Structure 1
Amino acid sequence: MSSDQGTKLDKSTSEDVWKKLLNAEEYNVLREKGTERPGTGEYNKMYPKSGVFVCRGCEAPLYEANTKFDSGCGWPAYYDNIPGAVDRHEDNAFGMKRVEITCTNCGGHLGHVFENEGFKTPTNERHCVNSLSIKFKPSE
């Protein structure tokens, strides 16, 4: 992926470039592993029938719209990602074991994935994603 200025955006992109391309809130979430307040994100209660949610940093496709569901957690939730789009990393911050999810292409922090919570979804997973980490692209 590349920016409007023709800069290639991936894991090799310098933090100086990210600081120029992202606003302060986006930078905090995507590059510093921040979290937006629950219930405040623009995609929390948005349920499109078709389209793709892409990484706000590099625009790599991450989630198909039809995998989004209402988990009631306060952040956008998906039961599965596009194959190969999301990396998982063990996160032991805050005294608990969680699984962080990042964009495979640029390494941007998306949120966390939780398993076996009892949601009636095909994967029994909840990808809890910050709205500031993604953008919606409707189907054409």
Structure 2
Amino acid sequence: MPENRIRVSARGLVRRDDDLLVARETPPDGDTPFYYPLGGGVEFGEHSEDALHREFDEELGVSLSNVSHFETYEGVFASGGRRHHEVWRVYEADIVESWPYERDEFTGYEVEFDEEIACVWKSADAFGEGDETLYPEALVPDL
């Protein structure tokens, strides 16, 4: 991503009882994994809700229903030796297909980066109690 650019992303809060569907990522240094809601970047001229539908289709091959805006978060942070500025549009949503709810873990695919995405169901309490890290961190108290 070019320097001095604000990245806007659309993220989905998908729930299975008290669990959230999140992506798990381990930093390059092999440290403790962190988690974030699935979704991705909003393209110029694209509404964030449309981007959410597109991202879930591209990464998991699923459709969404009952999509509603949850909250918007903004953060400036350092990662990989660079400053980043992101705006996260977070939506609550349901996945139409049943298979993601039937599996505790599965793999998605990020075409743009040619990378697999580790998708897991995690208890929202694990983030609230500080046992696990969820980004954006401002989302945690709102869960």
TM-score category (smaller protein): under 0.3
Q: Return the structure number with greater relative CO, CA threshold 8 A, min gap 6.
A: 2
TM-score, reference length from structure 1: 0.26
Relative to total residues, which structure has the larger strand share, 1 or 2? Answer: 2
